[in-house]
Amino acid sequence: MTKKNTKQDYFVLNNMLNIPVNGEIPLQYDKEALRCYLLAIDKQILKFNNLDEKINYLIKNNYIEKELLDLYTDGDTKNLSFISQLYHKVTSFNFHFKSFMAAYKFYSQYAMKTIDQKWFLESFKDRVVFNALYLANGNEELAMNLAEELICQRYQPATPTFLNAGKKRRGEMVSCFLIDLNDSMLSIGRGINSALQLSRIGGGVGVNLSNLRSAGSPIKEIVNASSGVLPVMKLLEDSFSYSNQLGQRNGAGVVYLNVFHPDILAFLSTKKENADEKIRVKTLSLGLVVPDKYYELIKTNQPMFLFNPYHVEREYDKPFSYIDITKEYDRLVANPNIQKTKINARELEQEISRLQQESGYPYILNIDTANRTNPVKGRIIMSNLCSEILQPQTPSKLNNDLSYQEIGTDISCNLGSTNIVNMLKSKNFGKSIEYAVRALTTVTDTEAIDEVPTVKKGNQLYHTIGLGAMGLHTALALHHIHYGSPEALEFTDAYFLALNYYSLLASHKIAIEKGETFFEFDESTYADGSYFNQYLKNNFTFQSKKVADIFSNIHLPTVEDWENLKEAVMRDGIYHRNRLAIAPNGSISYINETSASLHPITQLVENRQEKKVGSIFYPAPYLSNDTIDYYTTAYDIDQRKIIDTYAIAQKHIDQGMSLTLFMRSKLPEGLYEWKNKGQLNLTTRDLNRLRNYAWAKGIKSLYYIRTYTEDDEFQSVNKCEACMI
């Protein structure tokens, strides 16, 4: 490139990637865009003569926490010998970004800048060092090991941790929060304040509205006084819009409502495009809590009764969310003291599908499935902004001055992900998992959310974490395995079996070291040993030689290994009440040069809309003539293959997974055998079938429904039917 090129050259080059040349995908443009971008970034990085000068500058100007460095320097910032060794080790791996998107995402979203935003103060290597120092919490050996895991991209902390670790001016390290509201103005007021504070310091907030009395309910025995859940939704949306994390991350929230709540139809109507502006919510996400009884009523076409939480709580002496609707349904119907409304379940099902077609919402939480497989004491009542966190909560009781008469327990999400592609290359898979668990343990042990006592209490009692994975489709493509095939399902089964075993092993080891288990461990299925029964019948055996060869360097636990772990856990306990969850892995998957979560890729060359700059094009990770045939996109796959993949992984995961479904407005002919010949448009009936299929397969939650509408006039590599590289 010549000196005449402008700052925008790299965007132009990157956009050229999306235009096929003689039937070929011109990947070289992305590499050239990356080179030009890094040259431009290099001119914006504040340079220092040596490490001492750099560290002292960062401390003096309040960019880095001196207290963190003191753990490794004995309080003397001139003694940087260990930090120097850590930098040397990280540098030795010679890390390079593999795509323009990866570099752009890092420098636009994660890299620390001067207060005036004119200069970058760190590279990817620096961010890795500060993450390793923070997550090791003074343990030099662990810091060295974590630095290797991070720079080799085997483990990736979630965005809040990766963004904030080591920084003086920062938000919290946790990804999201879940809070429960009780049926009182005191709880609603406290909840709105909690939403404001949590959005300010961290990120996404899930709020349970199922306990709130429905519209027209009595207030102080005055009939038709309550306005129901909709005004509370508007208050929450305004709170999230106002409060964000230092302007770096927009506030975001989701509200969950049980399908048996009388406000269910009004709740869904808030997301319709033609909804009245007085009730419409634009940025708030919606989630439904769906008991098994709902699916039964759809199947039998019996009348569906909705129950007013106001009356249910008075009859059962506990909030609506803590009632097992499936178990109690007939008694609720027969109880004359409970106000109820009759609707048709199939009509509600159609309404849900129509809204998912239109907006992608609501999320679906199959609450009985989640609770049936819950290994610990308590009831799961809701989920989070990405629908993968499934942990029990307990309600609070408030005094009239909003102080706590009894502090319940709410949830913070301490997340991180393994990169499947790189984990398969680990010299010691079990140790890599242990280091990831230890990193997450530091987050849960050091983060105290004082602003919301219920979240703080839950974190202190249960030490919950959510270790997940990303890069499944990339790993499959690199090994010439088609997504959703029997080989792919066996691959998925083996990986998550190993992830579960080694994370349990690590949690047991940490419990021994700390001399502590999670609260009420003795009332869990870990304590009585029944959790392990599913693994004590047969050894895992590979049916595919190809998959067996891929896992040849990873020891998969035998029945004897599980027996030994069962005995050890029953004797000593584990430290974390919850360990595993599969997040959607948005931005961090780009930086890791791998496919997001367990989903198929969405396009061979993804068109990502970025604020301020417009379109950035991202080729599928490791896209080549060798992998292109194995990169069938999510919109061109029978969605049951995605559900099957998640169902296999779910067997080994104690929490949930962010399972997105991808639908074209025009479906490829023959993709679903239930489609009438020539009927290629997406219908509500298709979504009904898929949701019921997911429930039957044991899926705990469905995240978002993404619909892709093609522009027939737009030329792109995704239109190129026989593209090569």
Residues identified as active-site: 384, 386, 388
User: Cα(353)–Cα(661) distance, rounded to whole angstroms?
Assistant: 12
At 149, list the tokens. 């895991």
Concatenated DSSP letters of 626-695: TTGGG---GGGS-HHHHHHHHHHHHTT-SS-B---EEEESBPPTTS-TTSPTT--B--HHHHHHHHHHHH
3-class DSSP assignment, residue 152? coil
User: Cα(409)–Cα(395) distance, rounded to whole angstroms?
Assistant: 7
The amino acid sitting at 347 is E
Concatenated DSSP letters of 177-231: EEEE--SSHHHHHHHHHHHHHHHHHTSEEEEE-TTSPPTT--BTTBTT----SHH
User: What contacts 202, CB < 8 A, 6 or more positions away?
Assistant: 160, 171, 172, 174, 175, 176, 177, 245, 412, 449
Cβ–Cβ < 8 Å for 234, 209: no
User: Cα(582)–Cα(577) distance, rounded to whole angstroms?
Assistant: 16
Concatenated DSSP letters of 474-527: HHHHHTT--TTSHHHHHHHHHHHHHHHHHHHHHHHHHHHHHT---TTGGGSTTT
- Which residues is 341 bridged to in the sheet? 306
Say if strands 253-258 and 614-619 run parallel, antiparallel, or are unpaired: unpaired
Q: How many H helices and E strands in the chain?
A: 27, 18
Q: What is the CA angle 515-519-525, rounded to 5? A: 100
User: Cα(603)–Cα(381) distance, rounded to whole angstroms?
Assistant: 35
Cβ–Cβ < 8 Å for 366, 646: no
User: What contacts 543, CB < 8 A, 6 or more positions away?
Assistant: 486, 490
User: Cα(224)–Cα(230) distance, rounded to whole angstroms?
Assistant: 15
User: Cα(207)–Cα(287) distance, rounded to whole angstroms?
Assistant: 10
At 373, list the tokens. 């497989």
End-to-end Cα separation, the chain, in angstroms: 23
- Which residues is 468 bridged to in the sheet? 417
Q: Map tokens 């080799």 to a residue.
A: 152
Residues constituting the chain: 725
3-class DSSP assignment, residue 589? helix
Strand ranges, E, within 491-619: 605-610, 614-619
User: What contacts 170, CB < 8 A, 6 or more positions away?
Assistant: 163, 164, 246
